[in-house]
């Protein structure tokens, strides 16, 4: 997905990031641009300023967006039982190919092995899809 830019949280394996880069994704890990101990609020601000979609396994990002009434950035939260790097990369590619255009508009996405549910930002503005 060359038109979208991504920021992988520290809980996303460097192997996943490398695999996605190999497939042409514009993706960096938090440690590359902010350091490994960056706070979630700083990560969200950086992602918003640099127009990047956050990929994480941490549900705190969705809560920060909801409580703050923010309209972005988009966040993809992975809820996979076995988050092996290549499987994560494959599942992300599937989901982004399905909803990629929505990611540019500001959404929260929850991804598991069989589904991807999303809500528009700000939370409460529209119903869940």
CATH at residue 86: 3.40.50
Residue 127 counted as domain residue: no
Q: Is the CA virtual torsion 121, 67, 9, 72 positive or negative?
A: positive
In this prediction, residues 97-109 reach a mean pLDDT of 93
Q: By residue range, what is the domain housing residue 79?
A: 5-120
Residue 107 counted as domain residue: yes
Domains of the chain: total: 1
The pTM for the full model equals 0.92
From residue 43, how far is each of 7, 87, 127, 129 by CA, in Å? Answer: 9, 24, 26, 26
Whether the predicted pLDDT of 1 surpasses 50: no
Per residue in 20-56, pLDDT (tens digit) is 999 999 999 999 999 889 999 999 999 999 999 999 9
Residue 9 counted as domain residue: yes
Q: Are 71 and 106 in contact (CB under 8 A)?
A: yes
Residue 77 counted as domain residue: yes
């Amino acid at each position: 997905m060359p038109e979208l830019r991504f920021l992988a949280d520290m809980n996303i394996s460097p192997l996943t990031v490398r695999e996605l880069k190999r497939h042409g994704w514009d993706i960096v890990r938090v440690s590359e641009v902010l350091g490994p101990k960056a706070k979630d609020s700083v990560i969200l601000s950086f992602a918003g300023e640099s127009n990047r979609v956050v990929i994480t396994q941490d549900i705190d990002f969705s809560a920060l967006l909801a409580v703050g009434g923010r309209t972005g950035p988009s966040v993809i939260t992975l809820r996979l039982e076995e988050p092996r790097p290549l499987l994560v990369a494959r599942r992300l590619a599937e989901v982004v190919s399905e909803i990629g255009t929505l990611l540019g508009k500001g959404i929260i996405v929850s991804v598991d092995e069989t589904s991807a549910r999303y809500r528009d930002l700000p939370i409460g503005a529209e119903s869940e899809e």
